[in-house]
Amino acid sequence: MSLMESGRSKKIDDLKAIAMILVVLGHAFSYYEQTNGLGGIWYLCKEVIYAVHVPLFFVIAGYLCRPRAVKGYLWSKVCRILIPFYLFALLKVMYTWLFSVEFSHTGGFWSDIAEVFYAGSVYWFCYALFVLYLIAPLLWKRKSSTLLAIVVVLIIANTVRDYFGIRVTSFLQMNTARYYSIYFIAGMCMNRREIGEKVTRIIAGKRAVVLAALAAAAMLWIDLSGFGVAVFRVIEAFSLMIPLYRILAARERCTASQKAGAFYRLMRLTDKTFETIARYTLQIMLFDSFFKVVLFQIFGRTTGINIGILFVITALNIGMAVVCCKVIERIPYVHFLFGLQLSRKTGRS
């Protein structure tokens, strides 16, 4: 199984879906931790989730960012990222000030507006990702060696920044984009055949998973010790991605060897589920903060909240977002505001 594949490969969708599930689960853990605390193995689980889920998304985004006509490319990013971001950000501010002022980020309506639209703090990943997509065309024709050199320079620069506590402007999440550019450009590197094939050989090595697990454990220990500078976090993130990739490779081989039976049907169901989640990743992220609060309130007043319930909340959260997306994409004009394509089932293009 190679990293180098044409089009939207199945395992890229699988990785996106897994990253999305980890994002929603990580947010559920964090929300639970605010009132109940987390300790022991569950605290470590949360730290591992946060170490890998967003970096994986940015690696995939960079990997899929291929050369095309710049005008159409930029317009597609405005439609798929900025327009739904502005819609959800506005809805979040209005909801906060009409129903739940305690969720205000700043304590003032206009300062919340500035915080949301100037800094993008509520849905920070939208601005950070859009900024990196703006930069990407400048890198499309660069040599692989140049891209690798940029990644190394970024790791060094971010490590220095972390050590000395240097901050860049919060405008458009520039500070965040600066850090995640490491993963985004690394993903672009992996899309180059000569690099992608080498990475695939390394990941497929017999000792790759063991070494990756040891490296991730060491980096996690360093991070929890309070010395989590960029270089250690990058090693930790990529080390955690290797076992995920190998698990998907093993799953793919098992599925290919089975042509019938309960296991085959289960894998086919998982494939369809992952494909659906991967299709709506941005929208699931945007819906997450709304559904999470509602679900925590419902379970808090009925069954009570425990660690097991967090997994139920995660599944329901994603399921509700997917249902909303499937309904919205059938509504002409409204689908555009949510960054969705109009479903062909409506009979319109």
Contact 23, 288 (CB under 8 A): yes
Does residue 147 sit in the same domain as residue 252?
yes
CA–CA distance, 51 with 59 (Å, rounded to integer): 13
Does residue 63 sit in the same domain as residue 165?
yes
Q: What are phi and psi of 285, to 5 degrees?
A: -60, -40
Q: Is residue 299 part of a domain?
A: yes
The residue behind tokens 């909801």 is 95
Amino acid in the structure at residue 252 = E
- Residue 205: the pLDDT is 75
Summarize pLDDT for 83-95 with one digit per residue, the tens. Answer: 999 999 888 888 7
Dihedral of CA 96/97/103/104: which sign?
positive
Does residue 273 sit in the same domain as residue 304?
no
**Chain centroid offset of residue 24 CA:** 10
- Residue 7: the pLDDT is 43
Lookup: tokens for 75: 């317009």
Does residue 219 sit in the same domain as residue 338?
no
- Per the structure, the complete domain to which residue 303 belongs is given by 293-349
- Residue 344: the pLDDT is 54
Summarize pLDDT for 100-121 with one digit per residue, the tens. Answer: 766 666 677 788 788 888 888 7
Does residue 155 sit in the same domain as residue 232?
yes
Does residue 274 sit in the same domain as residue 298?
no
Contact 310, 25 (CB under 8 A): yes
- Residue 289: the pLDDT is 87
pLDDT along the chain (349 residues), means of 10: 52 90 95 88 91 94 92 94 92 79 71 81 90 95 92 92 75 86 94 81 79 85 79 89 82 67 72 91 93 92 92 96 95 92 53
Does residue 156 sit in the same domain as residue 222?
yes
Among candidate residues 256, 279, 302, the one where a domain is terminated: 279
- Residue 105: the pLDDT is 66
Does residue 171 sit in the same domain as residue 223?
yes
Does residue 216 sit in the same domain as residue 169?
yes
* 7 DSSP assignment: S
Among candidate residues 250, 279, 308, the one where a domain is terminated: 279
- Residue 136: the pLDDT is 96
